[in-house]
Structure 1
Amino acid sequence: MTVPADAAEPPAAAMPAVVIGAGPIGLAAAAHLVERGIEPLVLEAGPRAGSAVRQWSHVRLFSAWAEVVDPVAEKLLAPTGWAKPAGGTYPTGGDWVSRYLEPLAGVLGERVRFGTRVTGVSRLGRDRVVDADRERQPFTVHVARADGTEERLTARAVIDASGTWSTPGPIGGDGLPAPGERAAAERISYRVPDLKDPSVRARYAGRRTAVIGSGASAFTALVHLADLAKEAHGTHAAWILRRGIGGSTFGGGEADQLPARGALGLAAKAAVDGGYADAVTGFRTAAIEKTGDRLVLVAEDGRRLDPVDEVIVLTGFRPDLSFLAELRLGLDERLQAPVGLAPLIDPNVHSCGTVYPHGVGELSHPEQGVYLVGMKSYGRAPTFLAMTGYEQVRSIAASLAGDQAAAERVELTLPETGVCGGAGLFDEPDASKSDEGGGCCGTGGHVLKA
C-alpha cells in the first residue's frame, strides 16, 4: 500500500504482506497468503517472474516436477486449466519458469509488481535503535522503480524471498575478492556458461579455462566443457579445488537416490578421467595476475597455475542484507542464516540425513513480522530444497493468519535420498565446509541454482 507523506496510516489488517522476489518461493508465499485471506504484494526487481531462474534456464534441476510445484500454488492454478507437467520428469530452469512460474504470476495478477527494486525496509518512524512503540508500527518498504521513481509502501509483514543469486562468492580463498580479481573481470564468469549460445561457445572453444568450485555447478561446467572439447580442439579445463579428492568428491554415483545428481557426478568424473580436465587440489587462490592476454592464478602456498584464458568461479552464494540494515535480525555469525535454522544446515557439522522441515519458529527474528525464506534463509549454506521453502512459507502464512497450530505443525515429509559423506555434492559456500570434506547429504527436491 502506497501512503502519501501527510496521510494517516491504515490499520495493520488493511495492509498487505510484502513479499520480496517473484521466484519460486516468493510466488508460493503469495499463494499461501491468498489462501489465508491475507493480501500479498510481491515486489520483483526484474521485468518478469523468475528473473534469477531465467539466468540459468539452460541447466536441468535434480528435482522432478513433483518436487518443485507448491501444492497451494497448484490449487490456485487449477481453475485456469493449467496442466501440471508429468511428475517424474526433470525440468530445466527455463521449463520451471515457462510452465509454472509465469502462469502462477499471471494468476496473482496485479499482486505482483515487476521492475520494482526494494532499497530499504524499516519500521515506520523508527530506525533500528529506537524501542518506543516499535512493534506497533507497520513496516515501511522503500522501492525504486525501473523508470527511476521512488516510492514508500507500508506493510503488515515482510517476507524476503529475494534469494542469493545476485551475490556469488568470489575467487579468494578467504571469502574476499582476490587481488587482481576485479581487474580481470572481463575474463571471469560466476555462472555456469550456456555453451549452446554461439557467442558464449566461442568464448571457451579452443581455450584453457579454470573452473573453481567442488559442487554441482562445477560438475556441470566441467561436463559442458568436456563436451565442447570433443568438438573444438584445444579446449581444456583446469579444475581448482580448495580441498583434496576423496571417495565422495564426485557424489554418490549410482547409489545416489537422486539419479540425475548421481549421473552428473559420474559425468564429471569421466571428464577428469578422460583428460578433458586436470584436477588441482588444495588450491586456495590468493591472487590473479595478468600475463599478456591470459591469467595466472596464484595460491596461498605460492603455487602458480599455467596461464588460462577464462575463469569460471562457482564457489557458492551469499545473502545481500544491505537493504535490511534497519531491521533487528537474529542471524548466525557464520552462515548469516536465522539463528534458529543455522544448526540444522551448518555444513561444518551437518552430516547425513535430511534437513528437518521447519517453519515460523526457526525463521523468526527479534524484529517480529519479518522473515527470510527460501535460499535467502540459508545464508551461505548450500543445501536448499524447493520443498523446504514451500513448507517455510506455508508455516509463515498460517502464523500471520493467527493459526498457530498450523504454523507449528510439520506438513512436509522429506524422503531420505542422500548419500553420506557427499560434501562435493553441492556448490561450495566459499570455504565454510570442512577441508576434510565433512559431508552433507541431500534430499529429494534439491534445486540446482547455477
Structure 2
Amino acid sequence: MPKTPQKSPTFVDIFAGCGGLSYGLMAAGWDGLFAIERDANAFSSLNENLIRQEAAKKFSWPKWLPKTPHGIDEVLDSHRESLLALRNKVDLLAGGPPCQGFSSAGRRIANDPRNHLTSSYLEFVALVRPKIVLIENVKGIAIDFDDEESADGKVNYAKKIIQALSVEYNVSAEVLDTSTFGVPQKRKRFFIIGFRKDTSFLSKEMPFTVIERLRLGFLASKGLSVPVAAKSAISDLEVARNGMRQSTESAGFQEIAYKGPLTSYQRLMNVGIGKNVTDTRLARHKVEIKSRFEKIIQLCHADGRLNVSLSPELRASFGLKKCAIRVLDPDAPSPTITSMPDDLIHYRESRTLTVRENARLQSFPDSFVFKGKYTTGGDRRKKEVPRFTQVANAVPPLIAEAIGRALIVYLRPAEVTTSVSAPRKASQYSRGAAAVEV
C-alpha cells in the first residue's frame, strides 16, 4: 500500500524583506502561508520570486490578505479575526524585526521606532500561537542600549524578547556564523528559536545542536566545502572576463555581459539560469574615482589590508571621509554585506560590486530577481528599501535552508531518530553574545 505523502509544515514570514528567509525555508520543504513586508520595493522582489502564479516556489497565500505591501501593525489591526482563525494551526512563525536600530554599524538609538516593532512581533506570536518561533537579527540586539527611561538606565531587546517568549515557549538562542553554512560571507547573526511548551515534538535535542549535527550533511548535499571564498563566489562576474553591454533596464548604464559559471559554488547558484543573469548593472564611476580605487586595491593587496576598513592614514592620503570602505579579499569569505554600495571595492577591478555580486555573497541563487530602485539616499534611506538594501538586510537563503531542514526534524517522524519529547529548556545563549537567563 503506497504511503500517504507527508503534509509540508507551514510557516508565516514577518518582516519578510525581499524573501531570503522564506526562500530558504521553502527550499527545505516548508509551505509558506503568507508574508508581511511594508516596503514597496522589497515587496516587489518578494512578489516576483515567491508570490506570483508563475514563481517556481510560492506562498499558498490566503484570500483575506491582499497581495500588496503591509506593515505588521496594519495586519494586526485590520485582519485580527483572520489571524485568530490561524491560532494553534501555524507550525512556524519566522522573521526578524528591522535591525538598523540594533546594528553596531549604525547609531544604536534605543528609542529608534524600528526597535519597538519587536513588540508587534510578540503580539503576533501571542495571537497566532505558532508551534515554533524563529527570529533572526544582528548581534547588536543582544547588547545593552543606554536608556534613560528604564530603571537601571539600560535596555536589552534580546532579553526582552526571550523573557516575553519564555512564558509559553522553551527558548534558546545563539550567534551563528553564516560562512560555516556555505555562505561566502563572514556574517554573524543572532538567532532565537522557541518551542511552545504545550506541544509535543519529535525530538528532545536542543535546536542549535540539531542544526550543527546536520550542518555537514547539508553542505555535502550542496557539494560545498567551507569556507567559500569571495573569488569562488563571484569570479565568473568579472568584467574582464565577460565584457559589458548596455543595461537592459537602466538607460545610460552598462551591465556585465555574463558568460556562465566557473566554480562549483557558482554552478550551484546558477542552476537553470545559464547566461540569463539579472542585476549586473555597473556603477558609473568617474575616471578619477576609478583611478583612486585602482590605487587603493594595489595598496591593500600589498599591505594585506583586505576585508578590513582602510586605516585613517590611508583614508587621509586619498582624501576620504568614509570610514567603512574596504577591499574584498578574494581568498576569504567577504565581510558582512551592507546596504551602502560603496562600502566594498572589488578585489581586482576598480569598481564597487553589483547587486548580483552582493546577492552571490549572500547565497541568493541567480534565479532570484530583485525589483525596485537600485539605491536611495538622504532621509529616504529610513523609508525605502532599494535593491542593495534588500540584499544586505536579507537572511542568506543557504543558512535559512539549513535551519529549515533542522526544524523539520521536530515535526516529521520519518526524519527523526530520537524519542518524542518537548525540547529541553535552554538557560542561556553563547558564542559571542553575553549570557541571558530565561
TM category (shorter chain) comes to under 0.3
Query: TM (normalized to structure 2)?
Result: 0.27
